[in-house]
Structure 1
């Protein structure tokens, strides 16, 4: 089918194939095509919806495949079906234009007769699941896809998926899954439709196109909207509009369809399985959202919509820049939804869509870049910080001063709103009394009125200061002056400080006080007020206020203050005037009005006090008892203390003494004249006891050591003491008496180390740092008060203690014992051990846990206490003549002394019989034998007794229950002469108690007695494997021989069927029916009963094959016999009344089958029993062996 491009019409054009199976194509015409006009404007010039032509969007576009055949060249075969070998093979070569099948053939133009196809490598190259092959198709632009159609040149895949991208470089989104195993391969259940309300952007998974047929030319058509409820309202479903929008498609081929023959890895078969696609079609329209009727390449060659309705974008997905008056919308059949222009009042050609503006006004066009200093959504008002006189006039800038105005916006007259203390039309200058216009407005002039003259500079804020004032704000006195006051023309007062300093400040804590007198008592003696020294104001008021310009005072300020400092009284003499009152202003300590004229000085070194009136510590008056105006000089105390500031007497420090601190204090030594604080060092003696420095050598020697110490510096301890009094070897430890706990001779010298205190001469077998423990080889209490109770020797047993380990536990005396040895001196064996030996210890009793009464044994011999019937040193075996080793002991065999070969029986309690004897205990003679007292042997009866017995007592007589051994002998004697040993087994198996079912219960019982003791399973498996391998070949030969014998047995089996039929008509209790029933059951018992099988097989092997030891192993015979008897059972099976009984027997046989493995475990027992049967067979009459 051609795959070219073309426009949509009522009939399929050569370039546009209409794929089959698209259920919604007619509907999609409604949603995506019907009613679409070639022009986007109607005849009246009104806008209407328009769309590009429907086309095959894949045609001619390059597809990319992750796997393509031909690199390297390879052969591939055509798939002819599962029953036909693929004989038609071709070659794929990527370098040969005639033989390549690259991805360009997916979207090319071709005819049905000369098809081209893309092809992957075959399964021989490992492309099968989980490996995938991907095909990617780039559409070059967003399309609204109606369908995707794939035509396969081979059989369609079992599983593949379609993915899409809605925008370039976007994520791959699942579009559709095809698989016969949706949940297994993709984890999705099969689904073909959605219910209303479900997410419609979900990919379906279907098995619709996952069959292996047809082998070629199969189509897969995917309809993008099928099964989605909103498809009938496509224009109103943004979800589906997004769903069908595709820019890229990816086909992921995940699993090939096969006939299952690929598992044999035949190269021809693997070469016949591969992916091949002849056509890849994508039906849809160039997505233009109803605003364009065609798509065309742009200047860069990229396919874009030719947009109408004032839209723009590759998909007409937005409005043009100046057409933003309402939100962009997709064109529908009901409304074209064209974009509308913005209203900018003729002052702008740019705008943007404003959602909030549209919500409020119904017009979303928000203009930008308005001209003529206008602003607003429609350029309808002046911009911020602009004004205009009338509506149509151009807007002018306000030009408000940015620092002086509260806001840049002015009123309609252009007047700005000023900040505080700012004035002017544009707020460009400060008001009077303010300065420094800034963002914060104007600041008030901060000149100190006490120190400044006039107002500040309006620009800099700089102040004009008084004579003795400085600073930007005239708020501080010059150096050497203090007490800034507004009434002081100079501003500040000079410092006094007794002439020792020029740095001072006004002191805190002084209040103004007035000395006042109004002479109210008439004539009175002169009034005097005692003033505190230096608290007077610096001048008389009348003198300061009445000084004439240019007048010079007679005294300097310092001299005048010095004069007043020693003032004690003022005498006012009045001769011609009357004086009504006198008032003197002064200061005193207190919290009242601050007296700022009281100074506090900053003193130089050597002086101290508020007015530097005193000498500092370490200084004294140069002249003893000098005035405050006198100089202070350093004290002469060798720098070891200060002196009295008036007298100069030293107050010594640094461990010195003397008038000038010229010697060290007691307990110290050194040269105090150096003048350092550490001239006098403490004596290196305990407790700072006195010492002396030796002349010449300078060695310091202590002169008064404490008790218990000695040495030049008391660094040693006396005899009987220990310690490190000076810490010469570590931390300081005073000398203390040695602690040896009374275990030394107190009259001896050198009992302990004088440094460590370790005792050196311990007595009474003691040792340790302080004689606190016993010596090795001794034990006891070394701290006992009396010597006899201190330490005693260990006396460890030489055989039971560890060699080379001297001594014992110093407290308990416990010696270190050898393994399993106990006792303080290690002289006893632990319970369960015996035989104390040097360097070894005691040996374990190893009493058998079942055979012994207890785990302990004799301490010397090691003999365990045994259970009844058990013997051995460890009680690990039965006495001779006993069996059944268990926790209750062993039981007596009780073998007959006459009939048994030995008193010892087998583990199943059966005894080994002498010839002629039978029974579990060999306690009776076999049939047709009698006990001969003189010889104590069973002698054979004459031959006539055997004939009479055979005639009177049938082989399956229920008169008594013979022993297992007797049953085997009787079965062997009644074998049918000249026939298969298998029929002999039938007759033997038919005997039992209670008629029909007698021996079926006896056989397992006897077998359990013979085989009751099971050996170790691992050893048994190894033995069985060896025997089985050797017996296989001989078993095959025996089976063939048995098959020949079965042919001769056919007549007897026919007789058995006829007899069973007659038995159904006659009474079920007749001897003939019992005989036939026993025969039939014998066959089943021979097949399933392990015990009877062993015995019968031995007898059959004896008769038919001769010597068992020379021909084969017992296991091989057992296997061959079971197979032969099973075949014979199938031949003898007949319907009737016996069938029910046989069913019951079959159930019993199934239960016995579970015990077969246990019965076959002991081959040695079988051989022993075989020997008994051989002896019996040799003793039978000559006629019985036939």
Structure 2
């Protein structure tokens, strides 16, 4: 490797030094004083030094002679691969040597067919991407008439032209010499130049290719992605395409042909290991591969991407103005990974989108709860809302975890029907259909089952239990037990009665009687009390079965509360029974004389209608119609049916009815049980025949009693043993018997044999 540089190369390096591309020592990636990130680059070096170059052609195999062009004379030598002192392999391209003792690589001579269109290739593998500043070749023989430099940016990528050198650019490479490069994409285009293509000097000629020379954006390199890609290479290829000659090769003289060959004493590549401004050195990794020692939270062989949790802004190459260090994602402490989201970065300037948020969180920064989750403060983990899918308007709850319920649903999680609703389903809850008249409270929220009053049954509590009737909301039991004088448990409300009130103020035609009483109150004083006898009480007397279960209202009016009675006792008497009720209102002290009176009594009752009541007529559903068992009749089973009488004679309508005991010989009285005998029977139960008749009335047929065959229908008797009928009341001086063969009775005068027939 030589140390001197030619003048054109020196000028180029001055340019590159001004662009900070060939600064020698490696940089620190952080400010020494404040630790602020700054651009850093590995040291500038000869990237080809001591690297193996692959040559497609080497002299000495087979051994051969070659001659050096030295102007007027020619000196010839021998090349043999197997002899280290006589070999010129590719390792001598990148080794260390001096100008006084040069080493060089050498190809076979033209004698072996080395000439256009046959090319000789030299390939340099750099192991990783480098930013190439220049490529320098020092030729041991004259420089080629045509050769090209190629590069590729990845080990398996295509070869791209880097630079053409030719005295015949158009003929050899199809390009014009010294083409103009326009800013932009044209700056990645290789150009062809006819410089460095002369046959002289015959030895020691340099060719230096500066990657940025003639590129308009070179002075704005940090902002030119085209040039940043242009200077990047992982491999370089030198294609030696045509030898320079004096034209004497046409004579095919062996010595002449042996004097034309390619020989290069030095192959240098000025470059930096590419770390994109985020690393100050390249090192060997565990697998022995060359990689950047990345800083600024970058990672990759070339520090070409951000570390996994540093994705808050897009990766960028460091510049002289900014280190463009990768920024840590803000995941609120609830995620360990994030990715860069370009759209998010454009809209919020924070591109780190967190993934796999913990604690049921979500959002680009794990800053909120997942859908259908909640938390009370940002420090708390999120919890599932658990809103009931059927009872909630939305599965998302509020900050306190309370769900928004459908109109008929309640509960923290909308999982319970509101009072009055039941059977939670996808549409919410269904309205309870309990009959308010027969139910207590609301229905079961689970199945809609109603809580029936004592005398009510049915799914909706809408019908009276057997033995009751008249379903009413103001009845604590729901239905009124059938009265029916205790003779039937089957009844219904009458539709032939209308509601009426029996009222009276009991003052009609009354003359008051004045008396003076001494009454002691909290303040003792004399009072005048007027006692009036009650009038018009007849309307409250008698049969009031139509008021069964209704209210008897007594109204007292007074000019002052203290004049109301201390106690009121109401007595109802009838049928040997007395019912009483005591009322004890509270009173205050007496302050001044005043008056009070019983102003009215009202008894709810009903009036019968011959036809069913109409909607305009107030009904009287408390009036029952009983279905009577055998032996009873009447709307209330208050009468005994024909053929039946009271079990207790004159026992009243509460007494059971039993069949008449008249032995089928006539009806009985429905209240007393006394029989009305027929068929010539008599007795309380028609148990015997009338006088003048004989027979067994207990048999119960119309012919049980037959006329006695005696004179004047006198009485007779039938002998039990013989069945003979004997007159028991014969006239004086006669006796008689009934002969069975006469079928009639006869009397004989005592002492004679004469018979007397009736």
Q: TM-score, normalised by structure 2?
A: 0.52
1:24 aligned to 2:17? no
> Please, which of 270, 282, 288 is the counterpart of residue 301 of structure 1?
288
Q: Distance in 1 between matches of 2:246 and 2:26?
A: 52
Q: Distance in 1 between matches of 2:424 and 2:54?
A: 77
Is contact 2:24-2:45 (8 Å) kept?
Answer: no
> Please, which of 168, 188, 191 is the counterpart of residue 201 of structure 1?
188
Q: Give CA-to-partner distance per residue, 1:174-214, whole Å, 9 cap, x none.
A: 11000000000000001165344671111111111111111
Q: Distance in 1 between matches of 2:56 and 2:313?
A: 47
> Please, which of 40, 56, 66 is the counterpart of residue 56 of structure 2?
66
> Please, which of 32, 36, 46 is the counterpart of residue 46 of structure 1?
36
Higher alpha-carbon deviation: 406-415 or 201-210: 406-415
Structure-2 change in CA distance of 1:119 and 1:37 (3 Å): closer
Q: Distance in 1 between matches of 2:116 and 2:408?
A: 88
Query: Which residue of structure 2 aligns with residue 371 of structure 1?
Result: 358
1:253 aligned to 2:240? yes
Structure-2 change in CA distance of 1:391 and 1:221 (3 Å): closer
Q: Distance in 1 between matches of 2:386 and 2:103?
A: 80
Is contact 1:36-1:49 (8 Å) kept?
Answer: no
How much has 1:269 moved relative to structure 2? 1.7
Q: Give CA-to-partner distance per residue, 1:831-877, whole Å, 9 cap, x none.
A: xxxxxxxxxxxxxxxxxxxxxxxxxxxxxxxxxxxxxxxxxxxxxxx
Q: Which runs of 5+ in 1 are unaligned?
A: 3-15, 445-457, 460-1186
| 3-state SS of 1:293 partner | strand
Q: Distance in 2 between matches of 1:365 and 1:172?
A: 37
Structure-2 change in CA distance of 1:436 and 1:259 (3 Å): farther
Q: Give CA-to-partner distance per residue, 1:557-595, whole Å, 9 cap, x none.
A: xxxxxxxxxxxxxxxxxxxxxxxxxxxxxxxxxxxxxxx
Query: Which residue of structure 1 aligns with residue 166 of structure 2?
Result: 179
1:167 aligned to 2:154? yes
Q: Give CA-to-partner distance per residue, 1:407-459, whole Å, 9 cap, x none.
A: 6544445466789999997688999999998xx989x9xxxxxxxxxxxxx99
How much has 1:38 moved relative to structure 2? 2.7
Q: Distance in 2 between matches of 1:405 and 1:90?
A: 99
1:393 aligned to 2:393? no
Query: Which residue of structure 1 aligns with residue 272 of structure 2?
Result: 285
Query: Which residue of structure 1 aligns with residue 249 of structure 2?
Result: 262
How much has 1:96 moved relative to structure 2? 2.4
Q: Distance in 2 between matches of 1:263 and 1:27?
A: 44
Q: Distance in 1 between matches of 2:55 and 2:333?
A: 57
Structure-2 change in CA distance of 1:319 and 1:18 (3 Å): farther
Query: Which residue of structure 1 aligns with residue 480 of structure 2?
Result: none
How much has 1:357 moved relative to structure 2? 2.3
Q: Distance in 2 between matches of 1:136 and 1:403?
A: 74
Structure-2 change in CA distance of 1:35 and 1:179 (3 Å): closer
User: After the TM superposition, which residues 1062-1141 of structure 1 pair with which residues of structure 2 at under 5 Å, given as runs?
Assistant: none
> Please, which of 223, 228, 231 is the counterpart of residue 218 of structure 2?
231
Q: Distance in 2 between matches of 1:315 and 1:275?
A: 35
| 3-state SS of 1:200 partner | helix
Structure-2 change in CA distance of 1:134 and 1:427 (3 Å): farther
Query: Which residue of structure 1 aligns with residue 209 of structure 2?
Result: 222
1:319 aligned to 2:306? yes
Q: Distance in 1 between matches of 2:261 and 2:249?
A: 12
Is contact 1:400-1:410 (8 Å) kept?
Answer: yes
Query: Which residue of structure 2 aligns with residue 336 of structure 1?
Result: 323
| 3-state SS of 1:26 partner | helix
Structure-2 change in CA distance of 1:152 and 1:405 (3 Å): farther
Q: Which runs of 5+ in 2 are unaligned?
A: 431-445, 448-758
> Please, which of 337, 353, 370 is the counterpart of residue 340 of structure 2?
353
1:191 aligned to 2:178? yes
User: After the TM superposition, which residues 460-479 of structure 1 pair with which residues of structure 2 at under 5 Å, given as runs?
Assistant: none
- Structure with greater proportional helix content: 1
Is contact 1:69-1:92 (8 Å) kept?
Answer: yes
Aligned alpha-carbon RMSD (Å): 3.4
Identify the structure with bigger relative contact order (alpha carbons < 8 Å, sequence gap 6+).
2
Q: Distance in 2 between matches of 1:336 and 1:412?
A: 42
Query: Which residue of structure 2 aligns with residue 954 of structure 1?
Result: none
How much has 1:107 moved relative to structure 2? 0.7
Structure-2 change in CA distance of 1:192 and 1:53 (3 Å): farther
1:108 aligned to 2:95? yes
Structure-2 change in CA distance of 1:36 and 1:416 (3 Å): farther
Is contact 1:421-1:441 (8 Å) kept?
Answer: no
Q: TM-score, normalised by structure 1?
A: 0.34
Is contact 2:22-2:133 (8 Å) kept?
Answer: no
- Structure with greater proportional strand content: 2
Is contact 1:408-1:416 (8 Å) kept?
Answer: yes
Is contact 2:391-2:424 (8 Å) kept?
Answer: no
Q: Distance in 1 between matches of 2:25 and 2:394?
A: 59
Q: Distance in 2 between matches of 1:40 and 1:380?
A: 33
Q: Give CA-to-partner distance per residue, 1:631-676, whole Å, 9 cap, x none.
A: xxxxxxxxxxxxxxxxxxxxxxxxxxxxxxxxxxxxxxxxxxxxxx
Structure-2 change in CA distance of 1:386 and 1:112 (3 Å): same
How much has 1:338 moved relative to structure 2? 2.0
Q: Distance in 2 between matches of 1:29 and 1:135?
A: 28
Q: Distance in 1 between matches of 2:54 and 2:278?
A: 32
Q: Distance in 2 between matches of 1:244 and 1:220?
A: 18
Is contact 2:146-2:197 (8 Å) kept?
Answer: yes
| 3-state SS of 2:294 partner | coil
Q: Distance in 1 between matches of 2:85 and 2:407?
A: 96
User: After the TM superposition, which residues 684-699 of structure 1 pair with which residues of structure 2 at under 5 Å, given as runs?
Assistant: none
Query: Which residue of structure 1 aligns with residue 115 of structure 2?
Result: 128
Q: Distance in 1 between matches of 2:342 and 2:185?
A: 30
